[in-house]
Structure 1
Amino acid sequence: MARRIPRLETIEAFIEAARAPNFRIAAERCAISPAAFSRRIQAFAAFAGCDLFERTAQGMRLTDSGRACLAALEPTYLEMRRAALEIGLAARPAKVSISLSHSLAVGWLIPRLDRLRARHPQIDVVIRTDRTAAAVRAGDADLGVCAQDVDVSDLVAEHFLDMHIFPVACPAVGETFRAGAGLERLRLLAVIQHPDVWEWWSREVGQPMPGLRAAQTFDILQAMYEASAAGHGVSAASHVTVQPHLASGRLVELGLPAARYPGCYRLAATARRLQSPPVRAVWTWMREEAAADPAPSPELRSAA
């Protein structure tokens, strides 16, 4: 009589136990109780006919026999899991929610959504405008884009985008600047989180102007850009969020250098949410989009 192989969930339990730092985490990854997980490990050990793990001062670790089993099974298991997840992803629509600031949503994400739909037509994106990581922690958002000052210590997080700052204005104000009006003679705008950005920018680009101050501040970048587009002053623009205004011609560059602002944006999620194929697909797509986003040169920029 042919010997029956273990059920797939029993093999999965062994592989997760071998990969996880402890059995409790491995049980969570399998979405079962520790007791049920232990029974699966015992069932696989009985099939293998040998001890797969040994207890040490640092916890459970694989025996030589366990390592041999893992080497034989893991590649095939991972390939089966990848194929099954791709089938599931293609078979049904999915929603992935992204938490990010209003300015990033309007200036960076929304203009790129057509490319996401072309890559993953089965995924619908839900946008939450929140610059904190609260929605990600609470499970109300699958992914978050967080500024450097946001605490992401308990999340999976990685560098996403740098921020480069340079002056922009509406075409009429741009003409005034090119006619000889210096920045100190123009009305300068900034966001309320960085009211000293103009003096900082002038130092960074090697043209220090002590006392250079914003005449008006805004709580979001997009409001500042709209004020500039209406002719109310020169904005300290972030290259990450200002591109739609430049592409439309409502704002133009002044031919001045860009400076990299301290800190960055980070992409964040919980480890559990990243196990979802649609969430992982959007995470990967966002990383690729960010990598393809060219940073401005610190040299003098071409004035429009």
Structure 2
Amino acid sequence: MRRFPPFAALRSFEAAARYNNFKLAAEDLCLSASAVSHQVRSLEEYLGVQLFHREKGKPTLTSIGAEYLEKIQDVFDRLESATNATTKRGTRSSLTLQLLHSLASCWLLLLLPKLKIRCPNLDIKLMSATTPVEFSSGDIDAAIRYGDGNWLGLQSDFLIEDELLLVCTPEIAKDLPSLDNLKQLETHTLIHCSLTPDEWKEWIKATGNEHFSSDHWLDLDSRGLVLEAASSGLGIAIGRMPYVEEYLRNGRLVEPYSIRAKTGKGYYLVYPEHHAKFDNVVHLREWLLEECQPNTTD
């Protein structure tokens, strides 16, 4: 167990030593001079040494007192600095958010103008990463993470469900077969994201078909590249929400079939519990939850 003297006594000693005056120390601490003197004496009794000479009511540090002050002064300075930094962080006007690069480029960046209108003084920093965020460094305020919503030691807010859907340009959609003749898709170029090799199988399975093959593939290693290739008419692709959301909204891609395969996972806003009170995280959370609410209007 750590052995510490009473903190109130330490505060009185540090202030009295800094001012070399009990009265000035008392004003600084909003105490009476007698209370400061009493606290200093209690510290001397705790330590078993004399920290001040008291001659004619004027305190001066003993050599032991000066040495002790030097050793604890750094602790007080660091404590003050940490407290100021934490206090400022709770109300700071910047936000550092970590998420996948492809998720930022295909989805979040397109929404950020709305957040800037809502919170014009909020400075935003996006950090892309392929590994889970480490909040221990203190550099990250929040993250958007893919999974089932359960992460030890973190709060999570559900944003968007992960769904697989077939997408293509409106022109290509006119020539696609019906759901009853999906085997004819084999004549088209199928755009494939190599990062998720099973998504075509998962979508085909959701249609009630088990076997599917094609001799025409375009393999790409980026979700953004897959959607750009599809919107350029290079073939048909599996889109995932929310990456494909803006492409569907602006008509560059369409969803020719109503079949969607659900993965059971989704995207979540995650953050340590104590970050929940930070103003910047509060603003981000409220805005994202509103943006991700399902649109129930016709």
Query: Could you state the TM-score of these two structures normalised by the residue count of structure 2?
Result: 0.61
CA contact 1:99–1:131 (8 Å) conserved in 2:
no
Structure 1 residue aligned with 2:142: 143
Structure 2 residue aligned with 1:65: none
Identity across the alignment (%): 23
One-letter code of the match for 1:211?
A: F
Structure 2 residue aligned with 1:263: 265
CA contact 1:143–1:283 (8 Å) conserved in 2:
no
Structure 1 residue aligned with 2:127: 128
Q: Structure 2 vs 1, CA of residues 138 and 174 (structure 1 numbering), >3 Å: closer, same or farther? A: farther
Query: CA separation in 2, counterparts of 1:224 and 1:171?
Result: 16
Is 1:217 matched up with 2:219? yes
Q: Give the C-alpha shift of residue 293 in structure 1.
A: 5.6
CA contact 1:131–1:146 (8 Å) conserved in 2:
no
One-letter code of the match for 1:160?
A: L
Q: How does 1:133-212 map to 2 (within 5 A)?
A: 133-148=132-147, 152-177=151-176, 182-206=184-208, 208-212=209-213
One-letter code of the match for 2:197?
A: P
Q: How does 1:47-66 map to 2 (within 5 A)?
A: none
Q: Structure 2 vs 1, CA of residues 95 and 211 (structure 1 numbering), >3 Å: closer, same or farther? A: same
Larger Cα Rg: Structure 1 or Structure 2?
2
Q: Give the C-alpha shift of residue 96 in structure 1.
A: 0.6
- Determine helix, strand or coil for the equivalent of 1:134: coil
CA contact 1:170–1:229 (8 Å) conserved in 2:
yes
One-letter code of the match for 2:211?
A: P
CA contact 2:195–2:221 (8 Å) conserved in 1:
yes
Structure 2 residue aligned with 1:289: 291
Query: Could you state the TM-score of these two structures normalised by the residue count of structure 1?
Result: 0.60
One-letter code of the match for 2:254?
A: V
Structure 2 residue aligned with 1:229: 231
Q: How does 1:34-45 map to 2 (within 5 A)?
A: 36=7
Q: Structure 2 vs 1, CA of residues 209 and 280 (structure 1 numbering), >3 Å: closer, same or farther? A: same
Query: CA separation in 1, counterparts of 2:289 and 2:6?
Result: 39
Q: Give the C-alpha shift of residue 212 in structure 1.
A: 3.8
Query: CA separation in 2, counterparts of 1:36 and 1:220?
Result: 56
Q: Give the C-alpha shift of residue 246 in structure 1.
A: 2.4
Query: CA separation in 1, counterparts of 2:110 and 2:103?
Result: 10
Query: CA separation in 1, counterparts of 2:6 and 2:270?
Result: 32
Q: Structure 2 vs 1, CA of residues 154 and 258 (structure 1 numbering), >3 Å: closer, same or farther? A: same
Q: Give the C-alpha shift of residue 269 in structure 1.
A: 1.1
Query: CA separation in 2, counterparts of 1:133 and 1:36?
Result: 39
Which runs of no fewer than 5 residues in structure 2 stay unpaired? 11-86
Q: Structure 2 vs 1, CA of residues 35 and 276 (structure 1 numbering), >3 Å: closer, same or farther? A: farther
Q: Structure 2 vs 1, CA of residues 145 and 34 (structure 1 numbering), >3 Å: closer, same or farther? A: farther
1:150-198 alpha-carbon deviations (Å, 9 max, x no partner): 9832322233321111111123322332598832221212322321211
One-letter code of the match for 2:272?
A: T
Cα RMSD, aligned residues only? 3.5
- Determine helix, strand or coil for the equivalent of 2:252: coil
Query: CA separation in 1, counterparts of 2:120 and 2:142?
Result: 18
Q: Structure 2 vs 1, CA of residues 219 and 232 (structure 1 numbering), >3 Å: closer, same or farther? A: same
Q: Give the C-alpha shift of residue 270 in structure 1.
A: 1.9
Query: CA separation in 2, counterparts of 1:252 and 1:191?
Result: 18
Q: Give the C-alpha shift of residue 204 in structure 1.
A: 1.7
- Determine helix, strand or coil for the equivalent of 1:224: helix
One-letter code of the match for 2:158?
A: H
CA contact 1:96–1:279 (8 Å) conserved in 2:
yes
Query: CA separation in 2, counterparts of 1:257 and 1:194?
Result: 19
One-letter code of the match for 1:254?
A: P
